[in-house]
Amino acid sequence: MLLYYTIYIGKTNMQQWNRAELGKLAGKYIQGKATEAEKQLLQEWYNAFDDVTVNVPADSEAEEMLTEARMLFRLQQTIEAEKYKPAPRRIPAWLKYSAAALLLGGVGLSIFWLTRPQPQPLTAAGKTPLHKPTIVPGGNKAVLTLDDGSTVILDSVANGTVTMQGHTRIVKNKNGQLTYDLSAAPNTGQVSYNTITTPRGGQYQVILPDGSKVWLNAASSLRFPTAFTAKSREVSLKGEAYFDITRNAAQPFQVQVNDMKVNVLGTQFNIMAYEEESQAKTTLVQGSVDISTAGGTQPKLLKPGQQARLSKGGNLHVVNDADVDEALAWINGRFYFNDTDLGTLMRQIARWYNIEVVYEGAVPPEKFSGEIPRNSNVEEVLKILKLSNIHFTVNGNVLTIKP
């Protein structure tokens, strides 16, 4: 069966553009060696296409030229400053993203390296729409549940003291982070617990009483004491979080997530353990962690760059050469896909944009590779589906994928 892909073209005569020459210019642009005249030529070529869409055969010369050259140039645009960059100082340099080349999807040509999100979507006529889209990217949103069951909506509360929890002062600092001030807290031995919860379309950062930092992804929650007074520092996680733990050999840090326990002294790691995903994944960035399970599986000691995967059936195994870029993309404000199936991709999109995804029939088998800034408007994100000939409709916040 001949696959078709949606390509954006205009009224320009395609043959006036030399594909090989454009490829060379794009390569020079990647390396920062393009002259102003060459940049202008690329820009003129890029601007020659409007948002009229046509379908062309996937193996045609037009498809090759339009997709490879145009999208290659597009991915080289300067990446805008991210709206949310947690702890850039602590992320190793080798985790930086590389706008290097177009990637081929598993079933078809799924090229969607959209690194230049538009601040406002354009209509086919090139005019700014009168109304904002109903589906917007997520942001810093969370609810804090105190020990007595009362709640505080963190994204609407002003900076400064949020509340007192016993003798502990809970503060929202100028960076919007939730912090715990124990300077006036006597060591009474009494422990209160708080839970911070992010909704779909939300994310948040909390600095724990020991100074450890935790970034929560969308649809996640973290339960923790307002003071670490026990022999170990224990917290419970649902969903996904990135941890930067303050080292304290006398008081190890432990994360309980579903049937898995992560034992830490001081390190940086990511845990993804959404209920709807087939595996819970712990990815180590720095230091070392020890993974154990409720089923009594032999504990696994992780080294940097390794990932522990726990299946629903309780099978725990370690991947030595894990795709750390993919695991940590979200804390750098990006989606990153590497031969990712459509179901997994859409679950991530659904959690961040707070949408419901419905399938009419079986889930299409296409796979995807590339990255998208998480502050992209939804129109940019949905182009990844159009480029792979995935048919869908959007009604409110419900996206229906059709056969």
Q: What is the DSSP string of 202-235?
A: EEEEEE-TTS-EEEE-TTEEEEEESS--SSSEEE
Give pLDDT < 70 ranges for the chain: 1-20, 22-23, 26-27, 29-32, 43-133, 184-189
Residues 155 and 194 in one domain: yes
Q: Tokens 């904002």 map to which residue?
A: 132
Q: How far is CA 169 from CA 20, 164, 209, in A?
A: 63, 5, 10
pLDDT digit string, tens, across residues 153-196: 999 999 998 988 877 889 999 999 999 987 755 555 677 899 99
Residues sharing a CB contact under 8 Å with residue 285, sequence separation 6 or more, in sequence order: 91, 92, 95, 267, 268, 269, 270, 304, 324, 328
Same domain, 121 and 148: no
Look up the CATH number of the domain holding residue 113: 3.55.50.30
Same domain, 247 and 198: no
102 with 145, same domain: the answer is no
DSSP calls for 23-92:
HHHHHHHHTT---HHHHHHHHHHHHT--SEEEEEETTSHHHHIIIIIIHHHHHTSPPPPPS----GGGS-
Q: Whole-prediction pTM value? A: 0.71
Q: Please enumerate in sequence order all residues whose Cβ is within 8 A of that of 332, keeping only pairs 6 or more positions apart, or say none.
A: 82, 85, 88, 91, 95, 97
Identify the domain containing residue 65 by its residue range. 4-136+334-402
Q: Does 322 map to a domain?
A: no
Final residue of a structural domain among 314, 342, 376: 314
pLDDT at 238: 97
Q: What is the pLDDT of residues 318-334, one digit of tens each?
A: 999 999 999 999 999 99
Q: Which of 209, 229, 249 is the last residue of a domain?
A: 229
Amino acid at residue number 132? K
In a domain, 264, yes or no: yes
Tell whether 14 and 109 lie within a shared domain.
Answer: yes
Residues whose CB falls within 8 Å of the CB of residue 402, separated by 6 or more in sequence, listed in order: 360, 361, 391, 392, 393
Indicate the number of domains in the chain.
Answer: 3
Domain assignment present for 328: no
Q: Write the CATH number for 243.
A: 2.60.120.1440
Same domain? 16 vs 112: yes
E strands of 209-328, at which residues?
A: 213-216, 220-225, 233-244, 253-257, 260-264, 268-273, 279-286, 289-293, 300-302, 307-311, 316-319
The predicted structure's pLDDT at residue 286: 95
pLDDT at residue 245 in the model: 97
